[in-house]
Amino acid sequence: MTRFAIDAPTALRLVRDGADPGEHQLVGTASLRSEVLSLLYQQHGELATSESHALLDRLAGLKMRLLGDRVSRREAWRIARELELDDTQPAELIAVARLQADVLVTDDEELRRLTPGQVEVVGWAELAAALA
């Protein structure tokens, strides 16, 4: 079993593709569902409302652990300071990955730029292969 920390675009792709984590564990930040909601809303001109609602329903059914505990928040604060970030959001995901996952899954180049020395990172292709 591998523990995958996922970002919002990865979570959205999982529900769009109907991927099943099987014996693997998914973890994310406490704000992940809100971030997916925001991503879907930004696409409201491209997607029917009913399709967006169906994806949100699938997201609610996706088995994952969302973390925002005291230890994760403190680690995120430390990482944001260490990386001199203006926002703690990317640091929160890195913190969750460091504390609770084996790897971080993202195709976001900006987030990938922040992770060397922090956590192992893989992209969607590697996650999809692991879930197949």
Per-residue pLDDT of the chain (132 residues; tens, 9 = 90+): 899 999 999 999 999 999 999 999 999 999 999 999 999 999 888 888 999 999 999 999 999 999 999 999 999 999 999 999 999 999 999 999 999 999 999 999 999 999 998 899 999 999 999 998
Its CATH class, for the domain covering 3-131, is alpha beta
pLDDT score of 47: 84
Residues 6+ apart with CB under 8 A from 30: 66, 67, 68
pLDDT score of 46: 85
Rounded CA separation 100/112 (Å): 18
pLDDT score of 130: 93
CB-facing half-sphere around the CA of 131: CA atoms within 13 A: 19
Q: In what order do the strands lie in the sheet with 103-105?
A: 65-67, 25-29, 3-6, 103-105, 121-122
pLDDT score of 44: 82
* Residue 9, both tokens: 């675009």
